[in-house]
A and B are shown apart, each in its own frame.
Chain A
C-alpha cells in the first residue's frame, strides 16, 4: 500500500486542525473580542483555501493510481462544484463574520461549519484513494501476469 497519495488530503486535515489549535491560542493572546474574531476569521480563510488546494492536488494522486481520465474529470467536477460556491461564500463574508456569526439551522459558528465540510470532503477523498488503490491492480502484478501468459 502506497501512502504518498494520502499526503495531500491528510495535509488538508492537518491544516484545519492546526487552525483550530491556533484559534485557542488566539483566544488567550487577544483580549479584545472584535480583534480576536477578525484574527480567527483570517486564519480560517487561509486554512480553508489551503485545504481546498490540497484536496485538488489529491485528485492527481487518484489519477496516478487509476490512470483513468474519467475519474479525474468526474472527481474534479464534483470538487469544483463544491469548492467554488464555498470559496465565494467565504469571500463574501465581512471581516470577522466567519467567527462572529452563527448559522441559524445548526446554531454553530460559520467557521466551524466550513471546517466540518472541508474535513468531510478530505475524508471522502482518503476513502476514494484507498478504494482506487484496492481496485486497481499494481503494475508489478500486471507485468507478472503478462510474463506468465507469454
Chain B
C-alpha cells in the first residue's frame, strides 16, 4: 500500500499512513478529509525524546495540511513527545485536504534522542496520497 509505509532502526519502529478513522486510505474522500497518522514505537528500554515532522515538498502542492497547532503550516507540521521505555505514540491531529490534482508525496521525518545512552536516530518515510 503506497499510502502506508513503515521504517525501522534499532530501538525504533515508525509507521506513516494517510487514514480515515484509523484505517489506511489512499484517496481523499469527496466530502471529507484524511488525517496524517504517524505511529512512533520506542523499543529501547530507555526514555526517548521524539520530534516528528510531516512535509509536503512539491510546489505547487496537490494536498495541504490543516492543523490547529501554532507554528504548523499547510506544508509542514511538527509534533514532539517524550516517550517512556517500550511505549508508543500516535500523531494524528493533522488533516489532509485536497487542493489540486495528481498524486502527492507526504514525507514523515522522525528524530528520536535517547539521552541516557547518548544515542540519536532519524527515520524518513514517504507515502503517496491521491487528492
Contacts and interface: CB of A to CB of B under 8 A. Distances in A.
Interface of A: 33-34, 37, 93-94, 96-97, 99-104, 107, 109
- Chain B residues touching A, majority SS: loop
Interface of B: 8, 10-11, 13, 41, 43-46, 86, 116-117, 119
A107 B117 CA distance: 21
A101 B44 contact: yes
Contact of A104 (B43, B45, B46): B43
Contacts of A94: 10, 119
A118 to B, nearest CB: 21
B46 A33 contact: yes
Among all A-B residue pairs, the 3 with the closest Cβ atoms:
A101-B11, A100-B45, A34-B117
A101 B43 contact: yes
Contacts of A104: 8, 13, 41, 43
Contacts of A97: 10-11
